[in-house]
């Protein structure tokens, strides 16, 4: 018989599932398997924590090999290693969750429209080489002016997007908005853009 704590956690998750979509915010596959969310997200800090786990050592080796095969520039190798590692862990998660896996564009590209577009397309390409259909992938981009411009271009190219921005004091909840009606909100709000990928 499950412990009272486990029963309480299970009943809380079941209650949430009846009202919303459960999204795992972890790179730990064991937790994802345990709680069976619909969607999952990755970000650099989650990838870092997962990469410290011994079972992910082969992922790091594969990521370095991939990056060195694409470039000899140390900065490119580092960037490609991180991108591939994010997608590699994301691909494993995509095999567990029935819904989306979301992966973040490097935050340093938040004010670079062309860089954001290139990175988003590169992440999609990596996912596809790992056998993950782009219809399961959401790309998280910053909801800066430049990010929104990148989102418009990527939306036309049928890339699923999840624009993000840190919540400010004047807004405490995420809202589902149309990208074109959210260009000048009175308060900076997170913008979620989901595009059909078929």
Hey, which residues are catalytic here? 140
The rounded distance, in Å, linking the Cα atoms of 22 and 88 is 22
Secondary-structure percent of the chain, ordered helix, strand, coil, rounded to 5? 55, 10, 35
Rg (CA), the chain: 18
The rounded distance, in Å, linking the Cα atoms of 179 and 176 is 9
CA 66 remoteness from chain centre: 20
């Amino acid at each position: 018989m499950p412990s009272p704590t486990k029963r309480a956690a299970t009943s809380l998750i079941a209650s949430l599932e009846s009202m919303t979509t459960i999204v795992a915010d972890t790179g730990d596959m064991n937790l994802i398997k345990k709680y069976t969310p619909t969607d999952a997200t990755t970000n650099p800090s989650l990838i870092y924590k997962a990469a410290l786990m011994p079972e992910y050592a082969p992922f790091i080796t594969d990521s370095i090999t991939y990056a060195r095969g694409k470039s000899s520039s140390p900065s490119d190798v580092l960037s490609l290693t991180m991108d591939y590692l994010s997608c590699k862990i994301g691909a494993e998660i995509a095999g567990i969750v029935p819904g989306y896996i979301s992966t973040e564009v490097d935050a340093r590209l938040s004010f670079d429209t062309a860089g954001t577009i290139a990175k988003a397309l590169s992440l999609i390409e990596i996912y596809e080489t790992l056998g993950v259909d782009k219809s399961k992938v959401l790309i998280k981009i910053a909801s800066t002016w430049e990010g929104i411009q990148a989102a418009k271009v990527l939306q036309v190219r049928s890339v699923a997007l999840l624009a993000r921005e840190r919540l400010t004091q004047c807004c405490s909840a995420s809202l589902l908005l149309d990208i074109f009606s959210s260009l000048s909100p009175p308060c900076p709000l997170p913008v979620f853009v989901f595009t059909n990928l078929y």
